[in-house]
Structure 1
Amino acid sequence: MFEKMQRAFWKALTPDLVMDEPKVEAQPVFGLAANVVAALGGVDNLKSQQPVALTRVRVELRDMTRMDRQALTVAGVPGVMMLEDGVVHLITGLQP
């Protein structure tokens, strides 16, 4: 704690010389990689998630607008089925 206070003090005195702490990246959720969670809008945007089959994961989101379909494709999710009430099915394929 003392280290954080000291860092904040020096940052206030010399803002150009003290680097900001790195931003916390999305943490992986059971069954979902961190980059998939980030593409879905982060951990706080997930209401629930459950595997439906070997190739599909059902996710319920709080806010559908926070989901980035292009980022999901980059993260390795080849297909996305958007259903009603914030439910999304991620077609993941067989993961190794």
Structure 2
Amino acid sequence: MFEKLQQAFWKALTPDLVAETPNAEPAADAMLAPAVLSALGGATNLKSQQRVALTRIRVQLQDPTLVDEMGLKAAGITAVMILTGGVVHLITGLS
């Protein structure tokens, strides 16, 4: 009981760091607009995607060199953070 409560507590504080039971991955275009998906290198370049907050989407890419930052900005993405390991954070909300 305590272990489940502790896991729920940490999950609330750090939602992207605590592993859950695997859920069905949404379709590549379910969360991302076609223009955004294209600027990320297409659906085949997408390993995973996760909404981290109301204004942020975390994606992991096969090849991060295919990212077109200008294309993302033209598609309405406010800011782009490219991290190591093919992880990209897309800031979608208020600037």
Counterpart position of 1:81: 81
Runs of at least 4 residues of structure 1 off by over 3 A? none
Counterpart position of 2:45: 45
- Name the Cα RMSD after superposition: 1.6
**Letter in structure 2 aligned against 1:64:** P
Do residues 92 (structure 1) and 95 (structure 2) align?
no
More helix by share: 2
CA distance in structure 1 between the aligned counterparts of 2:70 and 2:51, rounded to whole angstroms: 22
CA distance in structure 2 between the aligned counterparts of 1:38 and 1:82, rounded to whole angstroms: 16
**Letter in structure 1 aligned against 2:92:** T
Aligned length: 68
Which of structures 1 and 2 has the bigger CA Rg?
1
TM-fit CA distance, 1:46: 0.1
User: What is the TM-score when the length of structure 1 is the normalising length?
Assistant: 0.67
Q: How does 1:1-96 map to 2 (within 5 A)?
A: 29-93=29-93
Look up the SS of the partner of 2:48 in the other structure: strand
TM-fit CA distance, 1:88: 0.3
Look up the SS of the partner of 2:84 in the other structure: coil
User: What is the TM-score when the length of structure 2 is the normalising length?
Assistant: 0.68
TM-fit CA distance, 1:65: 1.1
Any gaps of 5 or more consecutive residues in structure 2? 1-27
Q: Which stretch of the first structure deviates more once superposed, 28-37 or 46-55?
A: 28-37
TM-fit CA distance, 1:74: 0.2
TM-fit CA distance, 1:91: 0.2
